[in-house]
Structure 1
Amino acid sequence: MMGCLTCKRCCVAIVIVIVVILIVTISLKYSRRPSDKCYTKAAVAADAGTCSEIGRDILKRKGSAVDAAIAALLCVSLVNAQSVGIGGGVVFTIYNASTGKVETINARETAPMGASENMFGKDPQNAKPGLFIGTPGLLRGYELAHKRHGRLKWKELFEPSIKLALDGFQVGRALALAINETSDKILNNAALCFLRFSSDNETFHFDYNFSSSSVSTTENKILTYHRMIEAFRFANVQKTKLGDPVINKNVTEIVKRMTSESLADGIRNKIKDDFKQTSYYEQEDRDGVPEDHGTSHLSVLAEDGSAVAITSSINNYFGSGVMSRSGIIFNDQMRDFIDPELTSGHGKNNLIKPGKRPLSSMCPTIILDKHSKQVKMVVGGAGGTNITTSVAQVILNYLFFGYDLQKAVKEPRVQITMNETGIEKNFDKSITDGLMLKNHIIYPNISFQYLSVVQAIVREEDKVCAESDHRNYGYPAGY
């Protein structure tokens, strides 16, 4: 009992120290953010500036884009341990400039071989945390990506993060806020109390001919956001039909239909410019997508033109809350399956089966210029079910609306549920008012825990520009 009380006092003291450190150092931290985010050769954009710098240094040592991505994400596992780590999983999208080929490596967690649909019993909310751990895939994913595309030795990718761990690092605001959000989880978990702190590809065709004129006036912008929000809702309904294609053989046909122009035409015809729909489901569609928060994305564009978009997760903040003796925080990805006992509805393609990967909203994206075939944009995000819509908004902002990259990422975004539209602080009130006149239900000021975070790199003629989302207080690095 005394040990537990001591542990709790220790955790409270840690949180207090973190807050004090942040108050003293936050202005210094922002004064160090690089003001020039365009480079001549290469860039890395992670959600933690130190990790962007580690990735950049790997590139400067002639490491590959994959080498830089692995080294940078290992760093993120330390400084943003609430979101990512080797106890989780990862998805790579890799563009090899020498061959012109793109590949995806899906190393997400899988259900243990002893898992079953009824494994959580009649009271899943009170199930033991260990039951929610999926078999981690991250290290296997790193290994495969390095085997195919690595240049530096395997151990060299780990050395910067090992040094960072031994030397210690200042807790960033993202980690501090996550600790505050989950303080009850930490204070009641003896394992987490001993954490030591110191100072499947989707394509939709929306033929609205979006351009800079789409946001040139208040009236145009209201209509554009209305159409965009409605399209997102219809797209989210389609997303709920997905599942692991290795287990569910019908998913391939579902994806084929989802990416067809005929489906896009059908959705576009259902969207009415004057009012919000009351239903977005087809008759058979009543599935849901589980929410999660603990995710990280980083983007890499190397000097040779190769690129990596990589998204990794342990699911919710600090995953399952279970930590190994060696300090690995394990995921709780089993929550990403829709179990009949866990939710009001369930998707037949996302039920628990041994060896199966759960449904995910990860979308690490690489966009090529259709003429030069060079990388135009590397982008992806974190933020649970809002990842896809947040990434789409950044892409639209940059490629269609004519915003510069910083504005494209920084612009306040909408985040949607099936019937409500969340808006970030400082979102244009005139647009909000216009959306309400079209029957949109608006809720303002999305809390930190639910914000999506996007990292992006673009090629602009002879420059490489990068942006790490200010919402997670990171910054990019390049040369």
Structure 2
Amino acid sequence: LISLTYWMLSGIIILVRGMLDFPDENDPLPVSNSVEGVYKSAAVVTNTEPCSAIGRRILEKGGSAVDAVIASLLCEGLTGMQNMGIGGGVFMTIYQKETGKAFALDARESAPLAADKNMYSGDPDLASTGCLSVAVPGELMGYWEAHKRFGKLPWKDLFEPAINMCLDGVPVNHRLAKAFSDSGMARLINRSPTLRNLLAPNGNLPKVGDKLRMPSLAKTFIEVANCPDGAMALYNGVLTEKFVHDLKSLGAIITKQDLIKYQARWLPPIVNHLKGGYTLYTMPPPGSGIVLSLILTILENQLNQDPKPNLYNIIRIVESFKYAYGFRTELGDPQYMDLSKVMTQMTSEDYIKDVRRKVGMVSRTNNNCTKYGGRYFVPNDNGTINVVVLAPNGDAVCATSTINTLFGSLLASSSTGIILNNEMDDFCAPEIVNSFGLPPSPSNFIAGGKRPLSSSCPSVIVGPNKEARLVVGAAGGTHITSATAQVIINNLWLQQTIKQSVDIPRVHHQLIPMVLKFEYGIPKSVVDGLIKAGHKVKKQSPHSSVTAIEQRNGGVRAIYDYRRGGSTSGI
């Protein structure tokens, strides 16, 4: 009772203080209401309690880290259906302790083969909702490819918890209920017959504590679980014709050939050897791991050791963001663009030495984005859920999944129960110049089969002993990369616990727009100093959400982000 009362009061205190302009600099912020999980050998962190428990049970049955992440994600696609599901896409960074090797899996959605860069001319809103916003889903194929390579348990065992949840009813948590209850979203759902029939079969959207039965999705899971070729049940099997028929009836341009030709890609991960003997493994393009890697490289030996938000560190962290996000505007799908030149520059010793010199002596920022390499703009991505797993054998997985904005395209496949993404909105369109006068990035123009740029950077950091020291990733669109970087800095370099590392107030700057955003908890003296240094600042409500596991001193600690909520479980 005492611990529960403390949990509630600490959450209320943070909420009330968050309404104030600035914290009292002499009165530290209270500890957040997130609960750090302490375990002996393994952990799972998800956004809801049922999903982390499912992941733990998979590990207890002898499943691999990949098995646990797949089962957890299948659950998250139900309890967090507004953000992700098998109608979307996923990135995974996988670390195998026995071999000391890491692997990156790109199962990002792709543009239909019939898509082209001018398909939204005259009406860019078509990219964000409705039939033309739907990209070819990659999620399920990603699960299958990961399981074929790293799975231990039978494929069908991973689907059993999600099937049972669909049949018994998905428990509606606060975040899902909030998405349903938002008046604007409720109207959009009710205007979409396919989504309304799926989410409000009795005419009313569910409330907190209700259970939402999803029998059509259960049938889909059963077909996929029992298929000898796994995900091929959807991509070239028993479900394909029905799924394509649904898409065609909605007006989408995805065909059977799109599904047959879709492949999840194994890519060499981004590798960065950091000080202290640590090695970062993270997601290459079309993910943003190279952006994360550059931020950390720039900041090595640049910061003081004070973990509290202070002007000296923040002004340097923000400058590193601006340089790294400047390069992000030139990234895209490496199978459609030659990224060798930009990738080489991002890792060039001469370039990094020059930027470190500038960041180290910075006293005033520059508000001209071209000074940081920003020549183009790319649209903001949205949504996402991040899941992290550390298995008893030391293997680790970080997975980031999304259908883009809330409930994706606001369409569903009636026969399969799959909510469809609106990932086409993450591409750039040639005719759209943003409000800052910058042209769109040609690297991210639409082409048939191409994958749009993503901010996702699921990461595993390995220590000199080959142990996964930190497994970390985030949700929150363009804030993903900056949030992940700050948690890594807090944990590895400023020696904070994993809970402290996630709790510490964050800042964000993505170069375009030229605005420094900060959370409540950044002291007024620091904000005043940033303004004096030339920054345009804006206070923001919490936007990003990190999930992380740390392994040190013989123990395992896991944490979710109080900004969104979540759950840990472990062994």
Normalising by structure 2, report the TM-score.
Answer: 0.74
Partner-residue secondary structure (3-state), 2:336: coil
The residue aligned with 1:20 is: none
319, 333, 338: which one pairs with 2:423? Answer: 333
Partner-residue secondary structure (3-state), 1:308: strand
How far is the alpha carbon of 1:361 from its aligned partner? 0.7
How far is the alpha carbon of 1:290 from its aligned partner? 1.3
How far is the alpha carbon of 1:343 from its aligned partner? 4.5
- Say whether residues 1:258 and 2:346 are aligned partners: yes
493, 499, 504: which one pairs with 1:411? Answer: 504
How far is the alpha carbon of 1:254 from its aligned partner? 1.8
The residue aligned with 1:359 is: 453
The residue aligned with 1:191 is: 194
Kindly indicate whether the alpha-carbon contact (under 8 Å) linking 1:48 and 1:472 is maintained by their aligned counterparts in 2: no
- Say whether residues 1:399 and 2:492 are aligned partners: yes
How far is the alpha carbon of 1:42 from its aligned partner? 0.1
Kindly indicate whether the alpha-carbon contact (under 8 Å) linking 1:125 and 1:342 is maintained by their aligned counterparts in 2: no
- Say whether residues 1:302 and 2:391 are aligned partners: yes
Structure 2 counterpart of 1:341, one-letter code = E
Q: Distance in 2 between matches of 1:427 and 1:222?
A: 10
Partner-residue secondary structure (3-state), 2:171: coil
Q: Distance in 1 between matches of 2:372 and 2:73?
A: 42
- Say whether residues 1:292 and 2:292 are aligned partners: no
* Matched positions, count: 443
How far is the alpha carbon of 1:469 from its aligned partner? 1.1
442, 446, 453: which one pairs with 2:545? Answer: 453
Q: Distance in 2 between matches of 1:471 and 1:34?
A: 9
The residue aligned with 2:402 is: 313
467, 470, 479: which one pairs with 1:386? Answer: 479
Residues 25-65 of structure 1: per-residue CA shift (max 9 Å, x gap): x969x9xx995511001001112222111111101111000
1:34 and 1:425, CA in 2 relative to 1: closer, same or farther beyond 3 A? Answer: closer
1:283 and 1:215, CA in 2 relative to 1: closer, same or farther beyond 3 A? Answer: closer
Kindly indicate whether the alpha-carbon contact (under 8 Å) linking 2:311 and 2:526 is maintained by their aligned counterparts in 1: yes
Q: Distance in 1 between matches of 2:473 and 2:348?
A: 23
Q: Distance in 2 between matches of 1:173 and 1:356?
A: 36
536, 542, 559: which one pairs with 1:467? Answer: 559
Structure 2 counterpart of 1:373, one-letter code = K
How far is the alpha carbon of 1:160 from its aligned partner? 0.8
Structure 1 counterpart of 2:422, one-letter code = D
Residues 346-384 of structure 1: per-residue CA shift (max 9 Å, x gap): 111111111111111110000010x21211100001111
Q: Distance in 2 between matches of 1:343 and 1:47?
A: 36
508, 517, 528: which one pairs with 1:433? Answer: 528
1:202-213 matched pairs, under 5 angstroms: 202=290, 203-204=293-294, 205-210=297-302, 213=305
How far is the alpha carbon of 1:170 from its aligned partner? 3.2
How far is the alpha carbon of 1:327 from its aligned partner? 1.7
The residue aligned with 2:50 is: 50
235, 241, 246: which one pairs with 2:324? Answer: 235
The residue aligned with 2:268 is: none
Q: Distance in 1 between matches of 2:311 and 2:49?
A: 35
How far is the alpha carbon of 1:429 from its aligned partner? 2.6
417, 421, 424: which one pairs with 2:519? Answer: 424
Partner-residue secondary structure (3-state), 1:293: coil
Partner-residue secondary structure (3-state), 1:476: strand
Partner-residue secondary structure (3-state), 2:370: coil
Structure 2 spans left out of the alignment, 5+ residues: 1-6, 12-32, 201-205, 212-283
Residues 298-345 of structure 1: per-residue CA shift (max 9 Å, x gap): 111100000001111111111111101022111111111111234432
1:350 and 1:291, CA in 2 relative to 1: closer, same or farther beyond 3 A? Answer: same
How far is the alpha carbon of 1:278 from its aligned partner? 1.6
Partner-residue secondary structure (3-state), 2:455: coil
1:332 and 1:104, CA in 2 relative to 1: closer, same or farther beyond 3 A? Answer: same
The residue aligned with 1:160 is: 161
Moved over 6 A (4+): none
Q: Distance in 2 between matches of 1:95 and 1:66?
A: 10
Q: Distance in 2 between matches of 1:34 and 1:126?
A: 39
Residues 411-435 of structure 1: per-residue CA shift (max 9 Å, x gap): 1211224211112233333322222
Structure 1 counterpart of 2:565, one-letter code = Y
Q: Distance in 1 between matches of 2:172 and 2:561?
A: 18
Structure 1 counterpart of 2:134, one-letter code = I
Partner-residue secondary structure (3-state), 1:182: helix
